[in-house]
Chains A and B, each alone.
Chain A
């Protein structure tokens, strides 16, 4: 299995602004998943993008995948205080188990 590397490690924005966080990985993947974790809680699956997809939307979330650069980005539009959380990416290769990078800690200030 491989883990992604999220960037930046921490991001602080004002409510209503957009938040962008990035994930890089090293080897070819079948899919890449993004998860959110509120402090002291479990992870919540946000979105899965397959290797043959370039962009995917879910509500205020937009995920892109560039397999040539081995990178993905997660955009949260019109952020809210409730979006404050840690965000983890999980690149997944065939038959491998999901592992996570250090994550991006997003703080949305009211």
Chain B
């Protein structure tokens, strides 16, 4: 199984809602990532978990809260988002080597904040 599964595929939420994005992989990877991608722009790294511990937070606002319950699952909890947070949210995983880390990406969650 070389898949990274993200749910939901699409999400529409209001600025006062609380929602969660989910990501799952069964490749035994111990590094998991959240990227944010605006239309016609490259993916931007948000968070990295290595061995279930948060290792990188790229100065992401606190309205985004990541969680890694176990080595296969990664969540992104959303609260009080702004319309400018509308984007494609991509999850990825890899083996946490220091070099030559090939990333496996999910298909993403297209988020619209109204």
Chain A: number of interface residues, binned into ranges: 20 to 34
Q: How far is the CB of B37 from chain A (nearest CB, A)?
A: 9
Query: How many residues on B have C-beta within 8 angstroms of the other chain's C-beta atoms?
Result: 25
Chain A at the B interface: SS class = loop
Choose, from A15-23, A38-46, A70-78, the stretch at the interface.
A38-46
Give Cα distance in the complex from A40 to B100, angstroms: 26
Assuming the A-B contacts A31-B100, A45-B102, A95-B98, are A102 and B42 also in contact, with contact meaning beta carbons closer than 8 angstroms in the complex? yes
The answer to whether B104 has its CB under 8 Å from any CB of chain A is yes
Instruction: Determine if A97 and B56 form an interchain contact, defined as CB atoms under 8 angstroms apart.
Output: yes
Instruction: Determine if B102 and A48 form an interchain contact, defined as CB atoms under 8 angstroms apart.
Output: yes
Choose, from B12-20, B63-71, B76-84, B106-114, the stretch at the interface.
B106-114
Residues of B with C-beta under 8 A to A25: none
Chain A residues packing against B (C-beta within 8 Å): 1, 3, 30-31, 33, 35, 40-45, 48, 50, 88, 92, 94-95, 97-103
